[in-house]
Amino acid sequence: MKYAKLNIKVADSKAPYFIGSQVRGAFGYALKSVVCINPTKECNGCESCQKCLYYEFYENKNVYHKYRFDFLLGKSNYDFDFYLFGDVIGYLPYCVTAFYKLFTQIGLGKERRKFVDFEMQVNGRSCYKNGSLKVLENFSLDIKIPPFEREIVLEFLTPLRIKKYNSFLRYGEGLELKDLINSIYQRQMKILGRDFKKFPYEIKGEIYGRNLRFLELSRHSNRQKVMMNLGGLVGRVCIKNLNKESYEVLRLGEYLGVGKQCVFGLGKIRVEEIEK
């Protein structure tokens, strides 16, 4: 499976505890200004909307989006990754242009603060220096899975929102390995444009040493004029007796995210070896 990663760091900045809603909304505004060809700037009735990157990322509902923001909570400055997957990777130059326009012309936050001194890297290569953009080629990479480990620590770095029995999990005791595997696998299938199908291998592994808590998060929806809950489970668990297939899916989840609202940066996980 292929991906591209854009990293953005703004040293002289002050970021909110949870940047996902703010950055995603601001990026959407900038992206629309870059790609929209409709003079009215309205998606409804636009004949080009089905071929529009902004429409696909923001207006196309009830789909698994092929991008996500990735960051840590509570950083003092803006420092985040932006992932693209599958057949939208080729649109990365539009995304780079949109972020450039966001930071240098539109501005971020209520103060619309603009920046010139910031870093942008695509897969570790600089694409912005001294106030100008650099054109990069061959920015598609293959996801590489590390060697198999039977026992791991799994960290949930931003809230995990997974539904069981039509309700979001609020307590770590209810989390099962199959919930994680199925969430990641179905996200992979949808990003690849494939129909729903059951995970084709047996899910093996035992969760123990749970240290999870429910973290309340919310965002204000400018479109719906309401506060929306984004809370979920954060913390860590240990998993033993994993089989190779389950391990590889968890590693894939480090790129794709797990659960709901991954585009906002939720469902960020990290897999670590247990030191022997």
- Tens of pLDDT along the chain (276 residues) come to 999 999 999 988 899 999 999 999 999 999 999 999 998 889 988 988 889 999 999 999 888 999 999 999 999 999 999 999 999 999 999 999 999 999 999 999 888 999 988 999 999 999 997 788 987 888 999 999 999 999 999 999 999 999 988 899 999 999 999 999 999 999 999 999 998 889 999 999 999 999 999 999 987 666 656 777 899 999 999 999 999 999 999 999 999 999 999 999 999 999 999 876
The residue whose two tokens read 């092929």 is 66
Rg (CA), the chain: 19
- Number of Cβ within a 10 Å radius of residue 44: 8
- Do residues 60 and 52 lie in contact, with contact meaning Cβ atoms separated by under 8 Å? no
DSSP state for residue 59 in the 8-state scheme: I
Tokens of residue 99, six digits: 């972020």
pTM as predicted: 0.93
Q: Across-strand partners of 68?
A: 83
